[in-house]
């Protein structure tokens, strides 16, 4: 895993003049990169972890709720003990409060999914849970993979109190999933190993499996 100084050192060793000439040839790719990430978030992903505040996730969730939604509001709160609390106001059954853990939050070339285990409460309305976690999983991933439009609930499996949402196909159809750079699909090169709630934010363990010169060129697009 590279720490921040190591990333910056590698970038400083690159022939920037040559890269600037190449950048013009990759402008459509770099436009997608800049639409998906800020320079700071890209550096965080490269160094191996990125913290996403609850406020950022909740803003993304709110943007996926409209007057036709079966949920009036949906809000996450990350806890220092690793719990992720969910508070929703629904049209069907009113207020819903859940507390649980993120057992898996994984993305690579082959799979993209989240598994959440609800503690101390039985799941009764599976349709509502599918609605919740389709939007929660995408809103959590948005800082890492860019915005994705959701037309219907994502494939969701519920076994007891374990909820698993598969968002691989939707990511594959995203701008990042359709973008290749020197033969590397950028979505495939992005790896997410897990997501851990802390007090007020969720930290994702990440990597970007690209050669150092291509990482530098991506960073150069922000200059």
pLDDT digits (tens, 9 = 90+) for 44-77: 999 999 999 999 999 999 999 999 898 999 999 9
Q: Given a cut of 80, is residue 137 above it in pLDDT? A: yes
Tell me the helices (H) and strands (E) count for the chain, helix number first: 9, 11
Name the pLDDT band for 22 (thresholds 50, 70, 90).
low
DSSP SS3 for 181: strand
Cα 201 off chain centre by: 13
- Number of Cβ within 10 Å of residue 48's Cβ equals 17
- pTM here is 0.88
Q: How many domains does the chain have?
A: 1
Query: Among 63-67, 72-76, 113-117, 119-123, where is mean pLDDT lowest?
Result: 119-123
Give the span between the Cα atoms of 163 and 111, in whole angstroms. Answer: 16
Give the span between the Cα atoms of 130 and 126, in whole angstroms. Answer: 6
pLDDT score for 127: 87
Instruction: Indicate the angle between helix axes 212-220 and 39-47, nearest 10 degrees.
Output: 160
Give the span between the Cα atoms of 153 and 137, in whole angstroms. Answer: 11
What average pLDDT does this structure show over 92-107?
Answer: 94
Residue 213: domain span: 4-220
pLDDT score for 1: 41
């Amino acid at each position: 895993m590279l720490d921040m100084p190591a990333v910056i050192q590698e970038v400083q060793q690159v022939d920037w003049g040559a890269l600037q000439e190449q950048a013009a040839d990759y402008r459509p790719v770099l436009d997608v990169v800049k639409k998906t990430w800020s320079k700071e978030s890209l550096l965080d992903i490269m160094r191996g972890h990125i913290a996403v505040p609850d406020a950022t996730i909740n803003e993304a969730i709110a943007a996926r709720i409209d007057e036709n939604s079966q949920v009036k509001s949906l809000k996450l709160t990350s806890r220092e003990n690793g719990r992720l609390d969910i508070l929703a106001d629904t049209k069907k059954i009113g207020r819903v409060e859940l507390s649980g853990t993120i057992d898996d939050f994984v993305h690579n070339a082959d799979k993209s999914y989240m598994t959440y285990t609800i503690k101390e409460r039985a799941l009764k309305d599976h349709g509502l849970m599918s609605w919740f976690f389709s939007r929660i999983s995408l809103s959590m991933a948005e800082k890492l993979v860019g915005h994705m439009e959701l037309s219907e609930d994502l494939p969701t499996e519920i076994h007891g109190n374990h909820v698993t949402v598969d968002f691989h196909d939707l990511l594959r159809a995203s701008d990042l999933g359709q973008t290749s750079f020197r033969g590397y699909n950028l979505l495939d090169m992005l790896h997410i190993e897990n997501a851990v709630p802390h007090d007020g934010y969720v930290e994702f363990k990440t990597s970007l499996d690209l050669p150092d010169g291509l990482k530098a060129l991506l960073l150069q697009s922000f200059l």
